[in-house]
Structure 1
Amino acid sequence: MHATNMIETAKRGRWAVATAFFVNGFMTGSWAPQIPVFLTRLGISEFTLGLLILLFGAGAVVFMSWCGYLIARHGSRSVVRWFGAAATFGLLIVALAPNVITAAVAMFLFGGVTGGMDVAMNANAVAVEKRLSRAIMSSSHGFWSLGGFVGGGLGGFAIQNYGHLVHAVLVTVVAAVLLAMSLRHLIVEERHIVAEHRKFSLPKNPAIYLVGLMALLCMIPEGSVLDWAALYLKQELGADIATAGLAFAFFAGTMATVRFMGDAVRNRFGAVTTLRVSSLIAATGMLVAGFAPTPWVAIAAFAFCGLGIANMVPIVFSAAGNQPGLSAGAGMSVVTTMGYSGILMAPSAIGFVGQHTGFAPVFISVSALLIVVFLMSGMARHADFAPAAQPAE
């Protein structure tokens, strides 16, 4: 009976962590259509916008780097709750910022709480995988992509018809309601998992940093689409705001669709083979987007890229959470910090380059990074783990 209760608790926890992924993606996706308005409202250049996005990334990296320690001390459940509650207000404080100085502070905090929530929910997903003895990481990231699809798809429409501030308030309310209904069902890790690291320290195993580099290269394309695709469509291809917001929405939508099948695909073909094929698909989509003659060709190319990106990050994160000799929290903290510097910090450099060359050459160059992931795919072999049976209580 006790074992049955544990499984039922884990199943509820699986849907609770899926909701956390959805909300995190929803908040991030809702930011994408706000970017053109943010640029115009503050009267700033693409370079200044890139610096503000850099602060977003800096906040995320600062908070993420401490999450392994916080998870070890308090468990991923508590850390998801803390950062999740704070993250619901992230977009709103950015939308309320009246000038560049307050926007800089708001962006740092928005990035920090979103990033901290991300590390903790990934660690909690690893704990659910171990409790259920089956993979859920790809489908969990599918919920993140689904949230991004909903946030990006509806965001452009809401902003165009009701204004950026009303949109931010609606996003905050939806996120708060979803988290309030779900977070109490998150599972608690076993004591021996939580207590592994009582002092803040960086892992000494160099392999985890190579996995982190691979995560970085996987996530730079995602950050490129999130922060600059809408501006690329609007400024260089002549799209309106509603159409421009569809670039990330369709990218996230194809990612969501494939991620819900990702665990089965990985089990069938193996993590390394799946990662290799995925990286080639993503590189092709990004390359075509850079050469696109019209907004809809670019949107279709970004959507095709999403098919490949879909399983890359979940595979790398599973490899991080199952590295020999490291707890899930410690491995996940390193790899998510390095990886999310790609989605959060690299776009600031892209903004600088894009201001001088346009964004088409940037997307073409980013496709080359995905070829590097193809060459490094063997590092993902630990994602093909066989979860051990749970010991008797």
Structure 2
Amino acid sequence: MNDHATSPVSPRPTRRRPAPPADARRARWAVSLIFLLNGASFSAILPRYPELVERIGLTNTAFGLAVGIGPVGGLLAGLFAATLMRRLGSARTAVLFQTIASTSHLLVYTSASWTWLAAALLLAAGADAITDIAMNAHGMRVERRYRRSIMNSYHGWWSLGAVAGGLLGAAAAQLGVPLWAQGLAGLLLFGTLAVGSLRFMLTGHDTLEREELLAAGPSPASAGEVPADPAPGGLRIAGMSLRALGLILALGGILTFAGATEDAGNTWGALFMKDTFTVTPFMAGMAFVALQGAQTGGRFLGDVIVDRFGDRATARAGALLSAAGMTLALSVPTPATVLLGFACAGWGVATLFPAGFRVADELPGVPPGVGITVVGWLARVGFVATPPLVGALADAVTLRYALWVMPVYALGIIAFSGVLSPRLPAADPPQDPAAGSPSASET
């Protein structure tokens, strides 16, 4: 609308987002479902960890080592994600390996020894790593069709699934549902929904949207712009320029510390509540739910926050919030302060994985699918290294003092945050040459 003729002061024109194509809208819901299932399937196990530890008879060190060995499967399997996506496409890869992940989770529930548990977690983490990379890659395809940021909402659905799974697991623990029964029900439910989502995902090659954007030329403030490689010549590693490789490593550092923060709540939250306070099994599971619940809110609001303040400032503020919350929880431990501390940690790292994946997938000098694969692989270093570290510290100095690593993780996020994007000025909307007024445009 143009009010120049009736008002002495022209208001800023309203920027309307164009409606995305119908197939993109359907694909967005399908990808969101995979994120939800990915979060729920494994998270339902976490409140049952104390029962598994007691049934198998594990020390904190042994349990932390088993949990830490699991993500080694993610590190190994993640190396093949780009190849699998080239052969199968990101949609089929995500659905296939999410179904494999749900199957392997049944093996975790039925673990009867340390070796069994470690092997089941190894398989589960391998399938999850490939699912994680593939669903993010397909999510980026859909985001390019939308021509605006929607990645934080995907991760919001993951966190919502994690909260739902955590609540289901905590309720099952409280009601005394057998572990094998919970695992079998999860396989049937989550596996069926994953397979059903495939028909609604985007068709065509995974590079289709990139090619369309390049052919159309630059667009204003589009989340899907693909910049040119500023240094097309010179030494390249895995198809990446050295500058791009350095940025990828820095992004991996951010996600390593973000993943380690999440893992602290996922792996040790219930045990910390159980060992430190006299609480019910359901209440013990609330530490994990507090972290994931706050992270869910932060991710659903993340696109608005990042658009306003930028990824860099959002990451730094979130890291400070995480450090402050966990410092309070560990300095003055009560059930209320611990839940508040884990909630602050969850909110603090909420936008980091979406930001890291987006930057990696759009970096100049990085072949399609490679950046997101490498960053996803590096992120799993945190999941490999931190459970054994925290477990060993817990046996040496108690779990309360071991969890002081969480404020240290926040400092690591701040140290690498400069690689993230600052807030960019909003671009002017394109003009309609016939009417002289702005046409519909994304913001």
TM-score, length-scaled by structure 1? 0.90
More helix by share: 1
Count of equivalent residues = 382
Which one of the candidate residues 113, 117, 126 is aligned to 2:131? 117
Q: Which position in structure 2 is the counterpart of 1:315?
A: 355
Deviation at 1:331, TM superposition (A): 0.8
Q: Which position in structure 2 is the counterpart of 1:334?
A: 374
1:325 aligns with 2:365: yes
| Cα offsets for 1:301-326 (capped at 9, x unmatched) | 21122121111222122211221122
TM-score, length-scaled by structure 2? 0.80
Give, in whole Å, the separation in 1 of the partners of 2:320 and 2:152. Answer: 18
The answer as to whether partners of 1:318 and 1:383 remain within 8 angstroms in 2 is no
Q: Which SS does the other structure have where 1:118 is aligned?
A: helix
Residue type matched to 1:257 in 2? G
Give, in whole Å, the separation in 2 of the partners of 1:69 and 1:117. Answer: 13
Q: Which position in structure 2 is the counterpart of 1:91?
A: 105
Which one of the candidate residues 43, 46, 53 is aligned to 1:39? 53
Equivalent residue runs for 1:270-281 within 5 Å:
270-281=310-321
Gaps of 5+ in 2: 1-17, 212-236, 431-443
1:179 aligns with 2:194: yes
The answer as to whether partners of 2:138 and 2:206 remain within 8 angstroms in 1 is no
The answer as to whether partners of 1:193 and 1:327 remain within 8 angstroms in 2 is no
Gaps of 5+ in 1: none
Give, in whole Å, the separation in 2 of the partners of 1:189 and 1:305. Answer: 39
The answer as to whether partners of 1:316 and 1:383 remain within 8 angstroms in 2 is no
Give, in whole Å, the separation in 1 of the partners of 2:255 and 2:358. Answer: 11
1:103 aligns with 2:117: yes
Q: Which position in structure 1 is the counterpart of 2:326?
A: 286
Deviation at 1:65, TM superposition (A): 1.9
| Cα offsets for 1:256-301 (capped at 9, x unmatched) | 1121111111112111121121111112122222224222321122
Residue type matched to 2:41 in 1? M
Give, in whole Å, the separation in 1 of the partners of 2:425 and 2:140. Answer: 11
Q: Judging changes above 3 Å, is the alpha-carbon distance between structure 1 residues 70 and 164 closer, same or farther for their aligned structure 2 residues?
A: same
Deviation at 1:214, TM superposition (A): 1.3
Which one of the candidate residues 219, 226, 234 is aligned to 2:274? 234
Q: CA RMSD in A?
A: 2.6
Give, in whole Å, the separation in 1 of the partners of 2:334 and 2:259. Answer: 25
The answer as to whether partners of 2:45 and 2:109 remain within 8 angstroms in 1 is no
Deviation at 1:101, TM superposition (A): 2.4
Residue type matched to 1:18 in 2? S
1:262 aligns with 2:302: yes
Which one of the candidate residues 27, 31, 35 is aligned to 1:21? 35
Give, in whole Å, the separation in 2 of the partners of 1:246 and 1:236. Answer: 14
Deviation at 1:59, TM superposition (A): 0.8
Query: Who wins on radius of gyration, i.e. which is larger?
Result: 2
Give, in whole Å, the separation in 2 of the partners of 1:29 and 1:361. Answer: 25
Residue type matched to 1:116 in 2? I
Q: Which position in structure 2 is the counterpart of 1:347?
A: 387
